[in-house]
Structure 1
């Protein structure tokens, strides 16, 4: 941690310092510890397939995930972050495994013993027998609830084990697997002790009931306290929920137009000097649900930023303009001429200029070298990816916040512009509902928005917060805007529906250290600098079936997603971490999901999406093979993989014929996949009328006057590429229209 502050949350620190209040019983914890031991066991050194046996390597090999505090951290994470159904399912199964009869039911004859009492509970079954039990669960077609529970435990166990750090910010397994936290040279590009948003920021974690009112008043806001209802009332022109790509742009545009703007953000404010590049603490404090947000059926894991700057603070820098064919589709098929207008095209140019987008890349990291060389060897086109950073930006930690301050998220650009024009940003503050009142019969909209109610997340602030505003802007993103609108009483059928996720599956290829053609490690260098588009042979209007890019995978994320076959196999795979390149297949999904309430997301691919995903996965594997990987595979639950040395083209095609995107762990199929998503769009889409969308072409709710949506949820469909530029450009246009709305309101009051 670079910056010390008594009231500031740390991005560096040991997990083991927590007090464990997860509520699991002693019997459940014994069962959980026994599963953790199987997932990552202590192994004899003679099983180590290497001649070089260093002290870190021997320590990792003999270490087990059953050791304190890993099982307790798994339990605490599940209790704190997991869906209630998942928590109940896991606890029921752990309880059953703590009993002999329950173990017999779930494990069959593998729990039998030749000695009294002849029937073991799970924790008393020998390790090699327990491994057979888990392997059976993994492959069983119909034990899907047990399989799902195992998947939850496996993911959390591996994530906790490889992200846990001691008081020195170190994990004993990292040296063995070839991982080092990127060096902290203490020289961010913005080498100033001042915080860029300091003059406009109010951090509720530093406030109390006795100080908050004065802090708000000092920022130029009109504040009154209603002691009877214990409510602090704040007046402003515009209140914005969220500070990411939508909210940041809106704050800059509306404050520069002369309006008093308040941005509320439930996350905390960090600067380049705060970023530690530690996977566990960074995910915990900068991502929604600590980075382990899953759909209700656990089919897909979703990454969404939850900090000042939102997704723009933790994304991977890719800054791709909206494809022309997508703009044409939105304009023609959806009747939204807005997207084909000179106004929108000009907005993209303005956005790219403000956040410093460049198409140059002076040096690519290991994974992007692999992607580029594989494409070149196959004669495939590969493009450089524009980024909102300099051409020599070589940071591999931007997913935890760029420690050099080179990536130009909203916290370094638009929000700086906003506070320079008097905007106020309140962190650690969560919106609860919009304040709506009915309008006279005959009005275009039946309701009017007067502002919003919110609460501070600090335990030292008990007051309710009421923000009264002429205009209210929801910019919480496609996962949080719909629940806020629904909880406020809005009924438009499009709210929460039409959710697009750009679902992702991964392929991997192993390149040993002695493969000198590609230098570096998997976690080094710009995260996304190359992209390949998988083309369709048809004459369809849009012939891109998928795009292939490279992901950001710290050791804990890598371990969580990588297939588990046995303890020995998994530890051996982790030793290859630093030289295992991953390629992600991203599809522009035709299917859509739904957000019904906060944290409750349902989603399923359709047949077209699965075929496009299949085409992308196969292409990704071909690229890895062509680049020279000694072994390739997918993340399918059976650990699908193939050795590449000396194989024929016929053998390659036979392997590829068996590659397909399996369903989730709850599906009855023999194999399953965990999908990922970092792009959420469309859940409050823009439409030409209230039947087609939740908001109109100006971003205003069809139901409530003065309530606007300004984030990725307004996009009509999936974009098909990294959506940051699309979201910011859309927000740029909507913000200008909000300014016009405010001017019209002011004129009408004068007359």
Structure 2
């Protein structure tokens, strides 16, 4: 199996137009379309718009790092490739938030799980947000194109032990578990997806759509932050950008002004609503930044007699939706079960404890398995998500309260995961909760978990799935943007990323972004150029 070449090195040698904002920016540029961000929504949009012959400029706050830089070291990856060096969290620090901040965005560091938007989620959007054309049949061809473009197929290699335990335990309990589709090609099964793929097997925007756009003439500015739009009379007049260091500090006082026919915001949930807030974008119905969802995640570790070595092999390849569909969508909160890769840095957080307690837990590291539960927020009044605010310096922060309703889901998830882990042969199970202990039997775990005080800070929580804040709606009262992604009050601005979702997805969201933005960007390309283009 051969390592795929680094497309950026060869492309830059051929003359791709890339500029490091930390080294200086021009004062003014013009283009047909400027896209803020280079992640899932931005990449799809950039490829389609350049296919239509449009002059496209991409703005990325993070650095340009490629497979030549990826070395499977957590110490470098978190600092260089993640928002706030991997320390982004909600306002009260109750939920750790993992988001990418580099060329390619979160697609560079995600774990490759690829699910279409569940039919139940689409039905809810149709019924509650006026999104009449968001149904399984209407979206199917757009998902199919994205799946083919990004090589999304069921993972055919045998799961690593970390994932197999989920399937083994679930099967013994009569719970269905399935193989996860992944967007990889020629995967080496290294397991370091969260640190950037060193072999270019992961079909992220870094090796697919962004190179395609650059090859077609797009211009890329990295380490360049979009500060704000200049808005007048229902239109965006220009975008102001500044050069930044790798940690986000401004390089100097110089500002680059970009004038375009159309502006696309694809900075991701949290950053996209923050940019519109800094720009004082119209928000007549007080929706901007509200209903921001995260799939709050509960974790459970287990120690086995045999070695697990959960740092090796595809990070996620088995899942169970059993607990998503055992109650009504607006009833007790549901959750999706998956496995968590356990690299040392990440594991030090997910095992809980510190000092001697953490050291004791790490003695069992090679024999530890980790499971997670993605909680499906956004479908109940007591899981209405959070809100993006601006700090005094204009940077964003998400306030997301963990309500009793959500934390009840965490308790049930702890119980489900522990039962599955014991059914698979675990010697002991440890939920991520300050009051939890290593339970040595299912009966002991059940009794112990029922006694836990389910409160923020005591209950460990994280998320890598941030959605909402610029939600779609069939009317201006229901959404920040229209069903085609165009802002309800700004006719030359669109939002193309996960911030457009009016609820959480209930599954890993990358394919939902790819498929839905594929339709939006194709429509935008036709509107701006008159040309029909296809993602291929």
Whether TM-score is above 0.5 comes out as yes
Specify every segment of 5 or more residues in structure 1 that has no aligned partner in the other structure, as ranges. 1-184, 214-231, 439-446, 666-671, 746-751
| 1:300 to 1:527, Cα distance in 2 relative to 1, 3 A | same
| 1:659 to 1:387, Cα distance in 2 relative to 1, 3 A | farther
Does the 8 Å contact 1:207/1:461 carry over to 2? Answer: no
Q: How does 1:535-614 map to 2 (within 5 A)?
A: 535=323, 540=328, 545-564=334-353, 567-590=355-378, 591=383, 592-597=385-390, 598-614=395-411
CA shift at 1:338, angstroms? 2.9
| 1:705 to 1:664, Cα distance in 2 relative to 1, 3 A | same
Q: 1:526: which partner in 2? A: 314
Aligned residues: 514
Q: 1:486: which partner in 2? A: 277
Q: 2:42: which partner in 1? A: 247
Structure 2 CA distance for aligned equivalents of residues 546 and 417 of structure 1: 37
1:700 to 486, 505, 517: 486
CA shift at 1:342, angstroms? 4.7
Q: Which moved more, 1:615-624 or 1:387-396?
A: 387-396
Q: 2:235: which partner in 1? A: 448
Rg bigger for which structure?
1
- What SS does structure 2 have at the residue aligned with 1:704? coil
CA shift at 1:283, angstroms? 0.3
Cα deviation, 1:327-349, whole Å, max 9, x if unaligned, reads 22212332112312755221100
Structure 1 CA distance for aligned equivalents of residues 421 and 364 of structure 2: 16
- Work out whether 1:472 is the aligned partner of 2:263: yes
| 1:367 to 1:691, Cα distance in 2 relative to 1, 3 A | same
- Work out whether 1:188 is the aligned partner of 2:3: yes
Structure 1 CA distance for aligned equivalents of residues 212 and 53 of structure 2: 12
Does the 8 Å contact 2:130/2:475 carry over to 1? Answer: no
Q: 2:230: which partner in 1? A: 435
Does the 8 Å contact 2:33/2:55 carry over to 1? Answer: yes
Does the 8 Å contact 2:324/2:336 carry over to 1? Answer: no
TM-score (norm 2): 0.90
Q: 1:664: which partner in 2? A: 456
CA shift at 1:392, angstroms? 5.6
1:508 to 301, 308, 318: 301
- Work out whether 1:346 is the aligned partner of 2:141: yes
- What SS does structure 1 have at the residue aligned with 2:398? strand
Q: Which has the higher helix share?
A: 1
Structure 1 CA distance for aligned equivalents of residues 72 and 230 of structure 2: 40
| 1:624 to 1:272, Cα distance in 2 relative to 1, 3 A | same
| 1:474 to 1:652, Cα distance in 2 relative to 1, 3 A | closer
Structure 1 CA distance for aligned equivalents of residues 137 and 362 of structure 2: 51
| 1:392 to 1:428, Cα distance in 2 relative to 1, 3 A | closer
Structure 1 CA distance for aligned equivalents of residues 75 and 324 of structure 2: 40
Q: 1:682: which partner in 2? A: 468
Structure 2 CA distance for aligned equivalents of residues 535 and 434 of structure 1: 43
Q: Which has the higher strand share?
A: 2
CA shift at 1:361, angstroms? 2.3
| 1:743 to 1:401, Cα distance in 2 relative to 1, 3 A | same
Q: Which moved more, 1:374-383 or 1:529-538?
A: 529-538
Q: 2:32: which partner in 1? A: 237
Cα deviation, 1:594-651, whole Å, max 9, x if unaligned, reads 001233110123343233322222111111111111111111112432124xxxx644
Q: 2:534: which partner in 1? A: none
| 1:731 to 1:451, Cα distance in 2 relative to 1, 3 A | farther
Q: 2:16: which partner in 1? A: 200
| 1:474 to 1:586, Cα distance in 2 relative to 1, 3 A | same
Structure 2 CA distance for aligned equivalents of residues 389 and 562 of structure 1: 29
Cα deviation, 1:264-315, whole Å, max 9, x if unaligned, reads 1011112212101111111011000001111111111101000011010000
Q: 1:85: which partner in 2? A: none
- What SS does structure 1 have at the residue aligned with 2:515? helix
- What SS does structure 2 have at the residue aligned with 1:705? coil
Does the 8 Å contact 2:353/2:434 carry over to 1? Answer: yes
Cα deviation, 1:343-385, whole Å, max 9, x if unaligned, reads 5221100001111111032122221121122112222211000
Structure 2 CA distance for aligned equivalents of residues 299 and 502 of structure 1: 13
| 1:354 to 1:192, Cα distance in 2 relative to 1, 3 A | closer
CA shift at 1:193, angstroms? 8.6
- Work out whether 1:621 is the aligned partner of 2:414: no
CA shift at 1:556, angstroms? 1.9
Greater relative contact order, per chain length (Cα 8 Å cut-off, separation 6+) = 2
